[in-house]
Homo-oligomer: A and B are copies of this chain.
Amino acid sequence: MSQPPQPSHSLDPVQLGAYFALIEVAGLLRHAVEQQLREAGDLSYVQFQLLARLGHSQTGSHRMTDLADDVVYSRSGLTYQAGLLERRGLIARTTSPDDERGVTATITDAGRELLGRVMPGHAELIDELLFQQLPREDAQALADLLAPARDHMRSTPPRSAARRRRR
């Protein structure tokens, strides 16, 4: 037999619990939402996120790299998903005007239409699963608690694309 695992030196039980709960809730939520989106509009979660980002932006456009960072996704994965969305006519890809290398994704009317069709059910589900359990002011509290961590992780070292290896 062996020793029980060492208790962590860095995290106390409260923190550990909060961390686990966070991961667990996110996982459960994502899992449930994924099914709803699949049924409502045959969209994966990432695809939905991409449409939502584009749909909510002023111009309806974003560069590929920015999108990848936004949804925390690999660049090659984004290329793949953007290809699927483009094939369905939900987004369009054009080379960026200012940078010949760049590609700008733009949501199409069809994309907006689908987004609008899927959104209500999505919101309803989130509401049912998450916010039925949380009074309004708790939702605010949750957002306030998470915001600093998000900003910290966004700012500090890691972009979704790790720095490229020297050759």
Residues on A facing B (Cβ under 8 Å): 1-6, 8-12, 14-19, 21-32, 35, 55-56, 71-72, 109, 112-113, 115-116, 119-120, 122-124, 126-127, 129-134, 136, 138-143, 145-154, 156, 158, 160, 162
Contact A28:B127 (CB < 8 A) given known A15-B139, A18-B146: no
Q: Which 4 residue pairs across A and B have the least CB separation, nearest first?
A: A26-B26, A8-B123, A27-B72, A18-B143
**Structural contact, A5 and B139, CB atoms closer than 8 A:** no
Q: Cα distance A32–B2 when bound, in Å?
A: 30
Q: Cα distance A143–B13 when bound, in Å?
A: 11
Counting every copy of the chain, the complex holds 2
**Structural contact, A2 and B112, CB atoms closer than 8 A:** yes
When the two chains form the complex, which single residue of B72, B115, B120, B131 contacts A15, counting CB atoms closer than 8 Å?
Answer: B131
When the two chains form the complex, which single residue of B27, B123, B150 contacts A25, counting CB atoms closer than 8 Å?
Answer: B150
User: Given A21-B147, A22-B146, 20 more contacts at CB 8 Å?
Assistant: A1-B109, A3-B116, A5-B115, A8-B123, A11-B127, A14-B139, A15-B127, A15-B131, A18-B134, A21-B142, A21-B150, A22-B142, A23-B30, A28-B72, A31-B158, A31-B160, A129-B149, A129-B153, A129-B156, A134-B145
